[in-house]
């Protein structure tokens, strides 16, 4: 009886088209007033939120606004949409999987998309990484990695290794354990100081990726290992590129030295490849630049080609066995949407697509086209221009007004979202030269016209 009354009421509301706040037709405009008053966007104030731009569709490397204007995407949707938007293979993978199994709990159950994805991950990552934990976001994969490192030592009967070591300028996510290993002074999470676990921070890598490596920067690093290894469970770092903490491109020999120090002082090595994995730096995984293997690896973002949220934490037989033979006997983590079949299937398809594509050629081309950014060096307010793989960065001497410069970029027909003092590009791999040229020109024009102030 209650159901029939609700059903009739719903029908009447639909006929009168008076369901408050819900668009009943695809032709209805996006309610930006509601968005401004009620929706909390990332890193945005609810008192004076910066403008948002209503998107209705996206295809290839272009985002279509409700106005009909198309923007060339320079962000790859926060670095994840490597194949471009609405790729038919990825769309088909989700549609076909949804018709049979959209989700099922992963506790006590398995399914083909998860098994096939984990096979692929074991195959394409370092040979020592044979155990896979599936999670639902990059931050959570870091949480799992930290738990793994702490639980491993507890399982070995070592109760002193309760902290992590990590360089300044790092960024590993927005959840609490991940925040605790982000740069404690200059990161967006500095205001949580006092609430977060306190870990051991060392100076950020200094030698540039393209310059000669200065071995003197390892002196303090080894001193930190020597003095504190008894309390350090793991060293966590983003390989080769420290991303949201400052876009620092550092020398592979630094990473190689970290691996050696971890071995020497009995510390696990966690590599956060959430942003750099799947080809962004010119290698499938950035640690390949240093010819090393981690004890624990975090991946996400481009794992599904930007279609759905999914991440993974991979580790070695040694770590997995060490945890499993300990007091708990299990890893103490289990997200509700762990191993989601839709995400796993589209991730399998994305990896297949990457392997069949000429992504190495695409990334090399983008690298070459991004050299146009160097014309920005003529401006006195530009302190650095750096390019690696399909990443281009222009660093200014002053903090950027994001709302003002984004409005400028949209007027120019591009989508670029800076942060801090950095204007950067991480475009989809399918981007063509003309698109990259327009993105670079828009950055040049924005600096020239002082649109960042």
Tens digit of each residue's pLDDT (9 = 90 or more) over 378-430: 999 999 999 999 999 999 999 999 999 999 999 999 999 999 999 999 999 99
Give residue 13's pLDDT band: very low, low, confident or very high (50, 70, 90): very low
What pLDDT sits at residue 28? Answer: 85
What is the per-residue pLDDT for 401?
96
Q: Which one of the listed residues 73, 136, 183, 272 is annotated catalytic?
A: 272
Tokens of 4: 């029939």
Give the tokens for residue 418: 């800076």
The yes-or-no verdict on residue 2 having pLDDT over 60 is: no
Contact at 8 Å (CB) between 221 and 202?
yes
Q: Is 287 a catalytic residue?
A: no
Q: Could you give the 3-state DSSP secondary structure of residue 199?
A: coil
Catalytic member of 131, 283, 301, 412:
301
Least Cα distance to 18 among 9, 26, 27 occurs for 9
> What average pLDDT does the segment 438-450 reach?
98
User: What number of CA atoms fall less than 13 Å from residue 205's CA on the CB side?
Assistant: 29
Question: Quick one: how many helices (H) and strands (E) in the chain?
Answer: 14, 16
31 is catalytic: no
Q: Which candidate in 37, 43, 119, 450 is catalytic?
A: 43
Tell whether the model's pLDDT for residue 330 goes beyond 80.
yes
Length of the chain (residues) = 453
pTM over 0.85: yes
- Angle at which helices 433-448 and 402-412 cross, to 10°: 130
Please state, in angstroms and rounded to a whole number, the distance separating the CA atoms of residues 342 and 348. 10
Q: Is 421 a catalytic residue?
A: no
> Is 171 one of the annotated active-site residues of the chain?
yes
Q: Which of 85, 171, 254, 287 is catalytic?
A: 171
* Mean pLDDT, rounded, of the chain: 92
Hey, how many other C-beta atoms are within 10 angstroms of the C-beta on 193?
Answer: 11
Q: What are the Cα distances from residue 427, in Å, to 73, 369, 442?
A: 6, 11, 14
Nearest to 297 by CA among 282, 281, 277, 280: 277
42-71 confidence digits (pLDDT tens): 989 999 999 999 999 999 999 999 999 999
Whether pLDDT at 147 is above 50: yes
Question: What is the CB-side half-sphere exposure of residue 160 using CA atoms within 13 A?
Answer: 6
Residue 332 DSSP label: S
pLDDT at 26: 58
CA distances from residue 238 to 151, 170, 269, 271 in whole angstroms, order as listed: 22, 7, 11, 6
Q: Which domains does the chain have, with CATH numbers?
A: 36-83+360-448 (3.90.1150.10), 92-356 (3.40.640.10)
Supply 274's token pair.
């959430």
Which of 270, 240, 265 lies closest to 138, judged by CA?
Answer: 270
Pairing of strands 391-396, 382-388: antiparallel
For the residues 168-178, what does the mean pLDDT come to? 92
pLDDT at 3 over 70: no
pLDDT interval class at 10 (50, 70, 90):
very low
d(CA 101, CA 174): 30
Q: Tokens for 70, please give them.
A: 């198309």
């Amino acid at each position: 009886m209650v159901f029939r009354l609700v059903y009739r009421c719903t029908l009447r509301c639909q006929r009168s088209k008076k369901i408050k706040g819900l668009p009943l037709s695809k032709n209805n405009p996006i309610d930006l007033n509601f968005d401004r008053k009620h929706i909390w966007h990332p890193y945005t104030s609810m008192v004076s939120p910066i403008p948002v731009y209503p998107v209705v569709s996206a295809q290839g490397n272009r985002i279509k606004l409700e106005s009909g204007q198309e923007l060339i995407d320079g962000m790859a949707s926060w670095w994840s949409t490597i194949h471009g938007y609405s790729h038919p293979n990825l769309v088909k993978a989700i549609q076909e999987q949804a018709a049979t199994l959209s989700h099922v709990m992963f506790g006590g159950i398995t399914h083909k998309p998860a098994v096939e994805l984990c096979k692929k991950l074991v195959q394409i990552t370092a040979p020592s990484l044979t155990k896979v934990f599936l999670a639902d976001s990059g931050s959570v994969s870091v949480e799992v990695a930290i738990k793994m490192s702490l639980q491993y030592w507890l399982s070995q009967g070592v109760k002193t290794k309760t902290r992590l070591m990590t360089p300044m300028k790092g960024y590993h996510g927005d959840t609490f354990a991940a925040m605790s290993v982000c740069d404690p002074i200059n990161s967006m999470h500095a205001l949580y100081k006092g609430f977060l676990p306190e870990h051991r921070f060392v100076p950020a890598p200094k030698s540039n990726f393209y310059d000669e490596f200065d071995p003197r920067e390892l002196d303090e690093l080894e001193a930190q290992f020597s003095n504190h290894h008894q309390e350090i469970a793991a060293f966590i770092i983003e390989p080769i590129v420290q991303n949201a903490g400052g876009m620092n491109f550092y020398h592979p020999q630094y990473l190689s030295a970290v691996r050696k120090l971890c071995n020497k002082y009995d510390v696990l090595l966690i590599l956060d490849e959430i942003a750099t994995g799947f080809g962004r730096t010119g290698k499938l995984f950035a640690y390949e630049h240093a010819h090393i293997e981690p004890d624990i690896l975090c991946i996400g973002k481009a794992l599904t080609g930007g279609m759905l949220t999914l991440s993974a934490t991979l580790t070695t037989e040694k770590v997995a066995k060490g945890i499993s033979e300990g007091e708990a006997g299990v890893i103490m983590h289990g997200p509700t949407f762990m191993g989601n079949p839709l995400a796993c299937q589209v991730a399998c398809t994305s990896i297949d697509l990457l392997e069949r594509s000429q992504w190495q050629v695409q990334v090399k081309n983008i690298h070459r086209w991004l050299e146009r950014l160097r014309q920005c060096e003529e401006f006195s307010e530009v302190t650095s221009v750096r390019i690696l793989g399909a990443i281009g960065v222009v660093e200014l001497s002053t903090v950027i007004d994001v709302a003002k410069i984004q409005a400028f970029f949209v007027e120019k027909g591009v989508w670029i979202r800076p942060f801090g003092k950095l204007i950067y590009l991480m475009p989809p791999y399918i981007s063509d030269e003309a698109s990259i040229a327009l993105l670079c020109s828009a950055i040049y024009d924005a600096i020239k016209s002082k649109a960042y102030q």
